[in-house]
Amino acid sequence: MPERYGPRVIEHLVNPRNAGEVSGPSGVGEAGNAACGDQVRFTLAVGEDLRLEEVRYRAYGCAACIAAGSALAELVEGRTIIGAARVSRGELQEALGGPLPPGKEHGVTLALDALHRAFEDYWSRQGDALLAGDGFGDGSGGRRGVVAAMSGGVDSAVTALLLKERGYEVVAVTFRLHDGEPGSRSCCSPDTVLFARETAHQMGIPHFTLNLRELFDRRVMRDFVGSYAAGRTPNPCVACNAHVKFHAAAFLADRLGLRHVATGHYARVGEGPCLERPEDGRKDQTYVLWPVPRELLGRTIFPLGDYRKDEVRRMAEERGLAVARTPESQDICFIPDGDYRSFVRRRVRSEPGEIVDRRGRVLGRHAGVVNFTVGQRRGLGVSASTPLYVTEVRPESRQVVVGSRRELEVREVLVRSANWFLDPREAALVQVRYNSEPVPCEVERGGDGWEVRLLEPVFGVAPGQSAVFYTRDGTKVVGGGIIARRDAA
């Protein structure tokens, strides 16, 4: 046996703990690569009280992987699943007598990753209610604890830190939403999941990963592609908040017996409950939060609503968090290159058609309606003496209608799928794009939705966008919905 390994490592190699397989396991996780020879596998039996009743491991490859698997299995057996999810790299290294020799540190990483993949598998086996869309309660019977969504960025890390400092029992969760590329900083890449876990453990917070690929594909990505194919302009962040992230956090909180959920969004929860704009108006994210169900909003905490972005970064630096200077996240997490048209074209067949003006006069041809959205000016493929904009997309006839900027003016919209926090009669302002200013409006119930009259003309409103309503002083979100129809001025 090489002398560079310490006595505890050698003890685990000579007398391995908990080697083998759990029969009928609650969760199974593997990490490593059989091609290079280093691989660790964990199987778990989780009791009704969420205690790890039995933990077994198998490891193949170098001595470091075998010893790390043995030490970790011994460490976590008998703990609650929350306690086991808190075990950090440092604690495992201590159980091995200190850091492993240079070039062998990966043994600790693989063992921890295999254990956490077993936790991930355990939660996935309980996910039928979540996939059905009804996987959360009101949290009334839970402990004073919170499941905090953690993406690997500074905002979510400081969110978890602030909650812990306020005395909450905090459990961090990272969502695996799509197949992020290894080495990328997409919110779902393998490296980002590991980084989020390391950040949580640095703060002494347990961490879980939930595999939500199927739910995200069903409720966000298919909607995104289908909307463009149908001539609508979707907002995937809205769809994700409506159907995925908040529901998943509440799903985990309910199963851990915790009362609250939290995210790093810049917003506040007011009485009612209702959404309120944050301290930092430049980071205001209330526009994409309107579809959060009212009963779920009532158990949600937004710690960053009282801070400005520069204060958040400063807090991270002062507390020594590695995420302090991470860059801002991209708008569409599953399209890292930003080319959403190519993303859609790869997933839906789009036939060529005509580019026409509002009188039906043919001005040119196009390769497919998925390449166009209302308000678009560039890439039309036709020339004119004055600038032309897309004013309408007609997928049924495969026509793209173009016109002047004046033809983009909208005075009325029909809103459907509304979610109200306050009485709709309090709606005095409406915002129709993430970065646009709200305009005065009047709202009344229509036969199949809500008729909204804009008291000032708005340019480039597209079906599929969100309309979010605010109180007269602009501070509270009354509710929101999806624009189904637009009427020109």
Query: Of 60, 94, 128, at which residue does a domain stop?
Result: 128
* 399/412 same-domain check: no
In a domain, 330, yes or no: no
Q: What pLDDT digit, counting tens, does each position of 148-174 carry?
A: 999 989 999 999 999 999 999 999 999
| Cis peptide bond N-terminal to 387, omega within 30 | no
Contact between 174 and 196 under an 8 Å Cβ cutoff? The reply is yes
Question: Quick one: pLDDT band at residue 189, thresholds 50, 70, 90?
Answer: low
* 434/393 same-domain check: no
* 31/106 same-domain check: yes
Contact between 457 and 489 under an 8 Å Cβ cutoff? The reply is yes
* 94/45 same-domain check: yes
Tally of domains in the chain: 4
In a domain, 246, yes or no: yes
The H or E element containing residue 71 is helix 63-76
What is the pLDDT averaged over residues 66-94? 97
* 157/224 same-domain check: yes
What is the pLDDT averaged over residues 384-400? 93
The H or E element containing residue 262 is strand 258-262
> Active site residue: 62, 188, 333, 441, which one?
333
**CATH number of the domain bearing residue 39:** 3.90.1010.10
* 22/151 same-domain check: no
Residues of each annotated binding site = 149-156, 175, 264
Is a pLDDT exceeding 90 seen at residue 453?
yes
What is the pLDDT averaged over residues 377-397? 92
Q: What is the pLDDT of residue 184?
A: 46
* 114/21 same-domain check: yes
**CATH number of the domain bearing residue 445:** 2.40.30.10
* 123/150 same-domain check: no
In a domain, 488, yes or no: no
In a domain, 213, yes or no: yes
The answer to whether 240 is a known catalytic residue is yes
Query: Of 81, 105, 128, at which residue does a domain stop?
Result: 128
Is a pLDDT exceeding 80 seen at residue 380?
yes
What is the pLDDT averaged over residues 231-243? 91
- How far apart are alpha carbons 187 and 184 in whole angstroms? 9
The H or E element containing residue 162 is helix 154-165
Question: Quick one: pLDDT band at residue 29, thresholds 50, 70, 90?
Answer: very high
**CATH number of the domain bearing residue 269:** 3.40.50.620
What is the pLDDT averaged over residues 218-237? 91
In a domain, 326, yes or no: no
Q: What is the pLDDT of residue 183?
A: 46
* 270/357 same-domain check: no
* 426/388 same-domain check: no
Q: What is the pLDDT of residue 460?
A: 85
In a domain, 489, yes or no: no
* 360/377 same-domain check: yes
* 276/414 same-domain check: no
What is the pLDDT averaged over residues 292-310? 96
> Active site residue: 237, 240, 274, 441, which one?
240
The answer to whether 333 is a known catalytic residue is yes
**CATH number of the domain bearing residue 376:** 2.30.30.280
Give the phi and the psi of residue 54 in degrees, each rounded to 5: -150, 130
Q: What is the pLDDT of residue 349?
A: 84
In a domain, 63, yes or no: yes
Residues in contact with 406: Cβ distance below 8 Å, sequence separation at least 6, in sequence order: none
Query: Of 319, 339, 359, at which residue does a domain stop?
Result: 319
Domain carrying residue 70: 7-128
Q: What is the pLDDT of residue 1?
A: 46
- How far apart are alpha carbons 262 and 172 in whole angstroms? 9
Q: Interhelix angle for 236-243 vs 245-256, to 10°?
A: 20
What is the pLDDT averaged over residues 21-36? 89
Is a pLDDT exceeding 60 seen at residue 314?
yes
Q: What is the pLDDT of residue 190?
A: 63
Question: Quick one: pLDDT band at residue 102, thresholds 50, 70, 90?
Answer: confident
In a domain, 358, yes or no: yes
pLDDT over 90, % of the chain: 76
Q: What pLDDT digit, counting tens, does each position of 325-340 carry?
A: 887 776 688 888 888 8
Q: What is the pLDDT of residue 199?
A: 95
Residues of each annotated binding site for ATP = 149-156, 175, 264
